[in-house]
Structure 1
Amino acid sequence: MAIYVTIYKISETDSFAVYEYGPNEDRVGQIQINKETGDIEILSNVPGDEKMFYALRAKRRLYMHWQNREFPDKTCFAA
């Protein structure tokens, strides 16, 4: 089974970047990363994803970007 999570930046300030993430454009959640600390907060989960399958993968990808101090406009998790 292939796994693909799209991640798109929807807003950014000096302190935070907010992204939408999910399996497609119709089912998305929102996630926020603190640019200074790397702390990641789920603002809203993908509808129907009670186990946070997509959120955990989006968090992992964004944390990897944060380690390089990157806040891309779009990225993805694929496996």
Structure 2
Amino acid sequence: MAFYVLILKEREDENGVTYRFGPNEDHLGSLWLDKLSGEVQEIQKTPADNAQTFFQGAAVKVRQHWKKGLFPEKTCWAS
């Protein structure tokens, strides 16, 4: 079964980045990425089945970008 997570940047400052994530733009949760440590925290669960899977996929993808020093406006994770 294929799994897709849309990831959209909501805001960014010198300390971190907030992203919205979920299966589509109508069902988004949010997470925060610490720019210094790379730690990812879930702020709001995705209002969809498998909410934890959506968060895990989004967290993996934003950390991959963080390791490269990137904070894209839009990205995705798929399996």
Between the two proteins, the alignment pairs up a number of residues equal to 79
Is 45-54 or 6-15 further displaced after alignment?
45-54
Cα RMSD for the two superposed structures: 1.2
Please, which runs of 5 or more residues in structure 1 have no aligned partner?
none
Mapped partners of 2:59, 2:49: distance in 1 = 15
Which residue in 2 is equivalent to 1:33? 33
Which residue in 2 is equivalent to 1:69? 69
Q: Deviations over 1:26-53 (max 9, x none)?
A: 1110010001110111000101446501
Is 59-68 or 48-57 further displaced after alignment?
48-57
Mapped partners of 2:60, 2:49: distance in 1 = 17
Mapped partners of 1:50, 1:74: distance in 2 = 22
Is 45-54 or 8-17 further displaced after alignment?
45-54
Please, which runs of 5 or more residues in structure 2 have no aligned partner?
none
Mapped partners of 1:58, 1:33: distance in 2 = 11
TM-score, length-normalised on structure 2? 0.93
Identity of aligned residues (%): 34
2:45·2:51 contact (CA, 8 Å) conserved in 1? no
